[in-house]
Amino acid sequence: MCASIPGWADRAEAALGRGAATRSVVYARHGMVAAAQPLAVHAGLDMLKAGGSAVDAAIATNACLGLMEPTANGLGGDLFAILYDPKTKQMVGLNASGRAPMALTIDKVKPEKDGTIPLYSPYAWTVPGCCDGWFELHQRYGKLPMSQVLAPAIKYAEEGFPLSPVIAGDWQRSTRVFKDKPGFAQVFMPGGRAPLEGETFKNPALARTLRLLAEKGRDAYYKGPIAEELVRYSKANGGFFEMQDFEKHHSTWDTPMSTDYRGYTVWELPPNSQGLAALQLLNILENFDLKTMGRGSADFWHVMVEAKKVAFADRARYYADPAFNKQPVEALLSKSYAKQRAALIDMQHAALKDAPGDLAVLNRKETTYLCAADESGMMISLIQSNYTGFGSGYVVPELGFGIQDRGGLFSLHKEHPNALEPGKRPFQTIIPAFLSKDGQPLMAFGLMGGDMQPQGHAQVVVNLVDFGMNLQEAGDAIRYHHTGSSEPTGTVMTDGGELHIEDGLPQALLDELKRRGHKLSPEPVGAYGGYQAIWRDPVTGTYSGATEKRKDGCALGY
């Protein structure tokens, strides 16, 4: 699988600071699906066995996840994807994120005390883009009829499915926040409480919505009864949606951007997503000999965190909807700029502030990531999210899904590139990723979880390339998560933020990080993200898959 990764044979060195893999890498010849819920993975695999494409498998999996993991994603959220097309031998990208309602302006928002948009409110609603993303992908790359692709999710929604453990825990915690939101309890608290692990949950309203999409297509959502119901609900609950917001909605096919990291090409999507931050982070890290430092040294963890701060300073200052603000992507991605930024890192002291470079809210957010691959060599990296778990908590009972709160990431500072404007896309945290070498696609991968995502992408790539880990080990390895950087909403880091590192590193190493000024604090396991990956052997075409030990999911092939 990863035989071409440097240091692959040196298992003793790679093992330091990571421990053994929690499960075996999964291998298959014809196709593979990896996602955060096993029943959803099976639905995707069934599409591949029926002759469907990787896109058919991904949509079927995502549709099931919207039902089975509503704590992270659904038809009320947004979607991004990177796909390798074996016919054209090109990477293509889809931005299926929505825009602010045309009737919503900054002066209408009642901000929080910190000057940000209230997350769990109609002020944070943006038009959901997921459904349009499905149909855009399917129109270009689907092989099976949409009625067949959505059939498993419809059946599970009607007949019910048993809840998996991690999702059940997230569900239980979410009810404390959302139980009083309009429609939430009616859909997601049957019998007046959250369903428990192993209990059967049904969502007949969502089944009707999915059946309508299977029969009538995407216009049933954006020009028909689904949009009409969303607008009716919006008017009844203080929202700003009008039919024109849905009728005008469209996804965009955006060319992925990339950078070279020690001979490997890493692919991300451009702004309004934060994928650029992962590439900037890797460009900065390339200026340091991480392998020689070793994962068992304080220098390694210090550099990883400080590089993140530097990259996130630019993220806070520049990333926004390019349709409204010109993005200096080329300058931010340049190796010379990365070298200048790397020079700012003080190896003995943690930075307290993260000023952006001079170019001539986010901590624990739920998302679902999945990837799929088929026999033709098509591979898709797809991420989909409501933003904060169940999103805004506002749920439309007649439709069986809630509305995202992605608009909470807009800035209320009118001069900021990410300032709220009618019809504008907000800064987005969700990012799919891809790895290739010498023009050959190698890995579709992602790591869900708000601001953890670019940090996680960089850590996975470093684990594979610098330390020779295999696909499962690269995800199982101890992770850090730094929080408190300056944000695109306008908040600014002034105290260095907080550093969270998973258990397993020596106490002496942690003490040294504290001496350098890092403020260490514990964090729930789920805050370190959720990784899935599929690797394709460029010689044999054999697929291998890995899945996140911190989630319920699996990787399966045939």
Task: Catalogue the active-site residues.
Answer: 367
* Integer CA distances (angstroms), 510 to 295, 343, 362, 477, 503, in order: 12, 24, 25, 17, 10
**Rounded Cα distance, 220 and 487, in Å:** 36
Please say whether the beta carbons of 82 and 443 come within 8 A: no
* Strand residues in 349-505 grouped as ranges (E): 366-373, 379-387, 395-396, 401-402, 433-437, 440-448, 480-483, 498-501
Return the bridge partners of 555, or none: 34
Residue 62 is classified by DSSP as: H
What length is written for the chain? Answer: 558
**Rounded Cα distance, 388 and 365, in Å:** 5
| One-character DSSP codes across 273-310 | BSHHHHHHHHHHHTTS-HHHH-TTSHHHHHHHHHHHHH
Task: Tell me if residue 366 falls in helix, strand or coil.
Answer: strand
* Integer CA distances (angstroms), 46 to 61, 152, 364, 368, in order: 10, 9, 33, 20
Task: Tell me if residue 267 falls in helix, strand or coil.
Answer: strand
b/e code 54-91 from CB counts within 10 Å (16+ = b): bbbbbbbbbbbbbbbbbbbbbbbbbbbbbbbbeeeeeb
Please say whether the beta carbons of 137 and 55 come within 8 A: yes
Q: Six-digit token pair at 21?
A: 């893999």
**Rounded Cα distance, 60 and 405, in Å:** 24
Q: 232: part of which helix (H) or strand (E)?
A: helix 225-236
Residue with tokens 């590089």: 307
Closest to 477 measured CA to CA, from 34, 27, 25, 16: 16
Task: Tell me if residue 407 falls in helix, strand or coil.
Answer: helix
Q: Is the dihedral of CA 27, 33, 34, 39 positive or negative?
A: negative
